[in-house]
């Protein structure tokens, strides 16, 4: 899957609403960015933790999709996130790296940074299913 293909998958859904853009694919990672605008902030003017979780799950789910291809379906089954630093403006970059890529379960580490600061550390477990289900 190409960056253009991944970004096309995000059209007309949550990824587009939050302006999440995939920017780099590597052998063992996927990177996306998200601008910190009013629509991803909580009432106190900080980046909403839920927006971090959407970014993390979207990124790692798409990374799993890149691994398994079109013949399978991937769904997130468990996510956790530690919000480590407040962000008020700018953009954040998220990198998903595999911890385990099994036949039916993938586990991803997702680190979200603003510049050199770690903003959120998340882990997602993805179930790989046959498309026939």
Q: What is the pLDDT of residue 9?
A: 87
Instruction: Report the mean per-residue pLDDT for the chain.
Output: 95
pLDDT in tens, 6-46: 999 889 999 999 999 999 999 889 999 999 999 999 999 99
Q: What is the pLDDT of residue 118?
A: 99
Mean pLDDT for the stretch of residues 109-116: 98
Judge contact between 34 and 55, C-beta under 8 A.
yes
Q: How would CATH label the architecture of 3-130?
A: Roll (3.10)
CA distances from 39 to 14, 55, 100, 126 (A): 12, 13, 33, 27
Helix locations, 10-116, DSSP H: 14-17, 49-68
Residue ranges per structural domain of the chain: 3-130
Contacts of 117 (CB under 8 A, 6+ apart): 85
Model confidence, pTM: 0.94
Percent of the chain exceeding pLDDT 90 equals 89
Dihedral (CA of 52, 57, 63, 69) sign: negative
Catalytic residue, candidates 21, 57, 78, 91: 57
11 is catalytic: no
Contacts of 43 (CB under 8 A, 6+ apart): none
């Amino acid at each position: 899957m190409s960056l253009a293909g991944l970004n096309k998958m995000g059209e007309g859904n949550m990824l587009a609403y939050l302006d999440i853009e995939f920017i780099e694919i590597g052998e063992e990672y996927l990177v996306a960015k998200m601008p910190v605008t009013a629509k991803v902030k909580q009432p106190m003017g900080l980046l909403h933790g839920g927006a971090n979780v959407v970014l993390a799950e979207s990124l790692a789910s798409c990374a799993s999709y890149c691994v398994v291809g079109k013949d399978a379906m991937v769904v997130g089954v468990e996510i956790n996130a530690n919000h480590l630093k407040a962000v008020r403006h700018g953009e954040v970059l998220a990198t998903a790296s595999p911890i385990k890529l099994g036949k039916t379960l993938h586990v991803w580490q997702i680190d979200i940074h603003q510049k050199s600061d770690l903003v959120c550390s998340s882990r997602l477990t993805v179930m790989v299913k046959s498309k026939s289900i």
